[in-house]
Amino acid sequence: MKNIVALLLAGGRVDELLCLTSRRAKAALPIFGIYRFIDFALSNCMHAAIDNIGVLSQYRPHALMRHIGSGEHWDFTGRQRSVRILPPYSGHAGSDWYQGTADAVYQNIAFIEEFSPEHVLIASGDHVYRMDYRPLIQFHIDHNADATVCFTHVPTVHTRFGYGMIDAHDRLIAYEEKPSSPPSDLVSMTLYVFKTRVLIDVLRANAGMSSHEFGRDIIPSMITDYKVYGCLHDGYWAYARSINSYYRTNMDFLEGKIDLHAWQIRTNLLERCAHRDRLPARIDGHAVNSVIGDECVVEGSVEDSILSPGVIIEEHAVVKHAVIFHDTVVHRHAHISRAICDKDVHIHDGAEIGLRGDDVPSKKFGALLNTGITVVGRKATIAHNVRIGANSIIMPSAHVTAMDIPPGSTVG
């Protein structure tokens, strides 16, 4: 589409994901074995034939930049097509460079004006869903909207979402970010389409304010004076912002709630393969209802789990209900249940993770780790015969040698 550019909001760290985002932006976090969160928005733009995309990145952008590269994996190459990382260019502290989602776009008005588009699509780069953006854009054009907000029905009330109300003519008549008592079950997908001139006007007006968020500031302020409409998305959508929701989204895939073949999501499969292609997986053991990535070796037992490429499960090791990132090794007789293990973790012979204490919440992160999930950070090493209780977190690069780690512990 020649009359629109897209901006993907991919800048921040998400503290609720604990050590999984301590060294990477959430948009670069692996999911479903071989994908990253950013792949879904990029693939949606590709399918919608949006030619030019800016990715607003700030927090530890290296992994995201490496993953996106030139954009060739999503066909964003050529004279008329591009994807660009747009880092902040002002500020003193790393977390202060972009002062919010609206400020991030405001700082990149020059990128928008370079293409002279009639409309701008703004989407979160860390949500999981499949959408051809063209019907949404056409809805926006047909209604002659100044702004269009995309919503989805979420019957369970969560105070971490933005909620809206839409009248019989599709006009957005109310919007509230993270209300204590939501006015409806319509949740914002952090997906907007703006007329370009309107977007620039409202961003410039907001620049002098103390808060610069689309959900909290821009959208509510526009309802009275502008033509703001609401459009509904009817398919699967996940905002995997917490450990629980991230784990649940991965399990949704194993349960068949997400059809990645039908979604046609693309990713960069060349990561960690700079010197050679990954070999096919080899399964000499037992694997049931699991995703087994390239170059995985399964000699033990894997059930209801997702293994990213290069994971090794040695003989007599047992992995159940787990999400394990690239090149982690689970040695002989180790047993893992309901865990998320980051890249390059070594779990040595006889170690146990997550087998006891589901009902004991994390002492340090009780609001985030309380459902029996254990998180092991990147490059952590778990020594022989160590027993780690559920709802624990092992920090990146930690070397755990204590024989008994009680449930709800934080190590490292």
Indicate whether 34 pLDDT > 90. yes
Summarize pLDDT for 344-386 with one digit per residue, the tens.
Answer: 999 999 999 999 999 999 999 999 999 999 999 999 999 999 9
Q: Which phi-psi region, left, alpha or beta, contains residue 403 (left: φ > 0; alpha: ψ -120 to 50)?
A: alpha
Instruction: Kindly report the length of the chain.
Output: 412
- SS3 state of residue 129: strand
Summarize pLDDT for 91-127 with one digit per residue, the tens.
Answer: 444 444 678 899 999 999 999 999 999 999 999 999 9
pLDDT number for residue 317: 98
* Calpha distance 336→347 (Å, rounded): 9
Indicate whether 226 pLDDT > 70. yes
* Calpha distance 120→216 (Å, rounded): 19
For 17-32, letters b (16+ CB in 10 Å) and e give bbbbbebbbbbbbbbb
Summarize pLDDT for 257-283 with one digit per residue, the tens.
Answer: 999 999 999 999 887 665 568 899 999
* Calpha distance 72→59 (Å, rounded): 23
Q: Using the Cα atoms of residue 180, residue 184, residue 185 and residue 186 in order, give the sign of their dihedral.
A: negative
* Calpha distance 313→306 (Å, rounded): 12
What's the predicted TM-score (pTM) here?
Answer: 0.94
Domains of the chain plus CATH, in order, are 4-263 (3.90.550.10), 282-411 (2.160.10.10)
* Calpha distance 359→372 (Å, rounded): 7
Residue with tokens 């009639």: 118
